[in-house]
């Protein structure tokens, strides 16, 4: 890893104030140095966590946003949302930092946040966070889910999964713990995370009422929300769009309600025959979000869990409600992204994006895949990455990864890696398709290295250098093979690229014209 002093920054002013004297800050980037002298700087998610060993986890990583936050608290700011500052014409430290990471103008970042097309999730109590952006006009991001269950994994293992996920490129991480020690697990994760952390608060609220959904109430939920916000959670998945009148529309589905949060709230609604308390008390939820600068990830509790249920009445009715809730949040200057499906065949994917943009006023879309077929348990990181690449191309801002264990069990470290890599591929493919500035540079460098048989450079530029090198070394492990003009696929006499080199040499020697 290399650090670059990429921008000069002062404290963000209140409206009408001038900028304070600038200071230099370090932006983490990984530099790949190639054998031909070229250097390539990659977007880097691991940050301060890269230098940490498991023995340091209880100490956490450096809280480098601490001073930025302290000045706002001393100033008496009551709304700590980045949207609040953006709407008031303020380019915050976080916006400038994220702008450098994206190679974008800070004013463009402020503008996108102000109009709701992008969010910069950053709880005031998560000073360890390195600011990043989620929005369709920026790089497509990916989220990795971790978390324990009642059947396995310790706190240490979950922190190690966090470390592992960001090592391979996760832009945010959601802690979906449902087992023991939820609070302590979350505290360890937050204190060690350079990326935004999201949660689904209804899980812990359910634990507080001994797993009885019908015993939930708004006070238990608000207490849980406050507790998690106080710890520093950056965004909350809240299933406030699961309305009582929508539940009957799921009865004839092949797979019913597959969202854990959605099913919990549906059960509560039916038990009491009342409207979802997250919907009826949304104004109270807004107060907590504003106080800590937490962002909404409005949950799709009625998302389709099978291809047969895609794009049905229940799914799109909930989406319309999420659009209404988005506007209520924006009225209070609170950032919002919208969660999406799920299981959707390729021919129906674009409809999801188009309708979400229309109903939710272009708030960032955050989707789970979608999986484009249901027939491949054990390979759903592939079935979903296909849909993820497509939906990212159409405008989705963040993709929630799926691991090979999806539908089968709790993922381990290797599953996390496989899921993250699959989704880094999907996100990058989407950036290429969108024509994002600079996205093609890495492809061009790797293709050039491939044509010039610079094997070590090919490994270094790949998303997973260790695997690329190990596959090459399975058949050609000798050091001399790292400069060979062939691989074991074609051998020395049938390599098309080597033959092309020979053809070009022959053409140059004979001074043949480009067209015959």
Pairing mode of beta strands 365-368, 2-9: unpaired
CA separation for the pair 248, 212 (Å, rounded): 21
Q: Tell whether residue 360 is among the known ligand binding residues.
A: no
Q: Tell whether residue 137 is among the known ligand binding residues.
A: no
- 122 closest CA partner among 196, 182, 231: 196
Q: Tell whether residue 65 is among the known ligand binding residues.
A: no
Buried b / exposed e along 370-402 (16+ C-beta atoms within 10 A): bbbbbebeeebbbbbbbbbbbbbbbbbbbbbbb
| 8 A C-beta contact, residue 244 and residue 268 | no
Q: Tell whether residue 400 is among the known ligand binding residues.
A: no
Q: Tell whether residue 261 is among the known ligand binding residues.
A: yes
**Encoded tokens for 232:** 């520093």
Q: Which residues pair with 8 in a beta bridge?
A: 24
Residues 6+ apart with CB under 8 A from 2: 29, 30, 31, 41
CA separation for the pair 145, 158 (Å, rounded): 10
Q: Tell whether residue 366 is among the known ligand binding residues.
A: yes
Pairing mode of beta strands 295-298, 336-340: parallel
CA separation for the pair 481, 475 (Å, rounded): 10
Q: Which residues pair with 135 in a beta bridge?
A: 118
By the 10 Å C-beta count (0-12 exposed, 13-18 middle, 19+ buried), 332 is classed as: middle
Q: Tell whether residue 302 is among the known ligand binding residues.
A: yes
| 8 A C-beta contact, residue 476 and residue 487 | yes
* SS3 assignment for 309-365: HCCCHHHHHHHHHHHHHHHHHHHCCCCEEEEECCECCHHHHHHHHHHHHHHCCCCCE
Q: Tell whether residue 490 is among the known ligand binding residues.
A: yes
CA distances from 415 to 168, 346, 467, 516 (A): 12, 25, 15, 54
Pairing mode of beta strands 398-400, 365-368: parallel
DSSP symbols for 466-491: HHHHHHHHTT--SGGGGS-S--TTTT
CA separation for the pair 262, 199 (Å, rounded): 14
- 437 closest CA partner among 105, 131, 83, 208: 105
Q: Tell whether residue 239 is among the known ligand binding residues.
A: yes
- 399 closest CA partner among 411, 391, 410, 408: 391
Q: Tell whether residue 145 is among the known ligand binding residues.
A: yes
Q: Tell whether residue 438 is among the known ligand binding residues.
A: no
Strands of 39-43's sheet, edge to edge? Answer: 2-9, 23-33, 39-43
Tokens 């229309």 locate to 358
Q: Tell whether residue 292 is among the known ligand binding residues.
A: no
Q: Tell whether residue 163 is among the known ligand binding residues.
A: no
Q: Which residues pair with 152 in a beta bridge?
A: 149
- 417 closest CA partner among 404, 430, 431: 404
Q: Tell whether residue 75 is among the known ligand binding residues.
A: no
What residues are designated binding site for Zn(2+)?
343, 407
User: Residues annotated as binding site for [4Fe-4S] cluster?
Assistant: 487, 490, 495
Which residues participate in the annotated binding site? 145, 174, 203, 239, 259-261, 300-303, 339, 343, 366, 407, 487, 490, 495
**Residue positions forming the annotated binding site for substrate:** 145, 174, 203, 239, 259-261, 300-303, 339, 366
């Amino acid at each position: 890893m290399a650090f670059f002093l990429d921008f000069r920054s002062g404290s963000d002013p209140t409206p009408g104030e001038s900028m304070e004297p600038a200071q230099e800050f370090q932006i983490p980037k990984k530099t790949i140095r190639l054998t031909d002298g070229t250097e390539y700087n990659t977007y880097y998610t691991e940050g301060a966590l890269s230098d940490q060993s498991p023995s340091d986890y209880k100490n956490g990583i450096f809280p480098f946003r601490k001073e930025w936050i302290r000045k706002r608290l001393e100033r008496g700011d009551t709304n700590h949302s980045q949207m609040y500052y953006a709407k008031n014409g303020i380019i915050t430290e976080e916006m400038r930092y994220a702008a450098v990471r994206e190679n974008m103008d800070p004013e463009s970042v402020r503008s996108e946040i102000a109009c709701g097309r992008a969010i910069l999730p950053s709880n005031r109590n998560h000073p360890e966070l390195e600011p990043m952006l989620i929005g369709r006009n920026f790089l497509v991001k990916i989220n990795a889910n971790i978390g324990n269950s009642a059947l396995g994994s310790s706190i240490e293992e979950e922190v190690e999964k966090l470390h592992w996920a960001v090592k391979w490129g996760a832009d945010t991480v959601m802690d979906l713990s449902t087992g023991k020690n939820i609070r302590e697990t979350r505290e360890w994760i937050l204190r060690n995370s350079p990326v935004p952390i999201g949660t689904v608060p209804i899980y812990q609220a359910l634990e507080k009422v001994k797993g009885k959904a019908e015993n939930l109430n708004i006070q238990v939920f608000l207490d849980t929300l406050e507790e998690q916000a106080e710890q520093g959670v950056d965004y909350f998945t809240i299933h406030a769009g699961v309305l009582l009148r929508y539940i009957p529309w799921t009865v004839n589905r092949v797979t019913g309600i597959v969202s854990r949060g959605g099913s919990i709230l549906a059960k509560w609604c039916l038990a009491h025959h009342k409207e979802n308390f997250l919907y009826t008390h949304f104004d109270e939820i807004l107060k907590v979000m504003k106080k800590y600068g937490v962002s909404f990830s409005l949950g799709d509790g009625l998302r389709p869990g099978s291809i047969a249920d895609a794009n049905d009445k229940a799914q799109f009715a909930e989406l319309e409600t999420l659009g209404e809730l988005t506007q209520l949040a924006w009225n209070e200057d609170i950032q919002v992204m919208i969660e999406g499906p799920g299981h959707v065949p390729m021919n129906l994917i674009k409809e999801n994006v188009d309708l979400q943009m229309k109903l939710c006023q272009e708030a960032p879309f955050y989707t789970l895949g979608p999986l484009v077929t249901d027939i491949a348990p054990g390979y759903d990181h592939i079935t979903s990455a296909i849909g993820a690449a497509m939906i990212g191309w159409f405008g989705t801002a963040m993709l929630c990864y799926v691991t090979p264990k999806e539908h089968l069990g709790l993922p381990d470290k290797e599953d996390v890696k496989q899921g993250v890599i699959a989704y880094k591929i999907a996100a990058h493919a989407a950036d290429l398709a969108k024509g994002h500035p600079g996205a093609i540079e890495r492809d061009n460098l790797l293709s050039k290295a491939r044509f010039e048989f610079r094997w070590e450079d090919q490994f270094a530029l790949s998303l997973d250098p260790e695997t690329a090198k190990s596959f090459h070394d399975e058949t050609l492990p000798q050091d001399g093979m790292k400069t060979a003009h062939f691989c074991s696929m074609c051998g020395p006499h049938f390599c098309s690229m080597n033959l092309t080199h020979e053809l070009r040499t022959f053409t140059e020697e004979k001074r043949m014209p480009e067209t015959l």
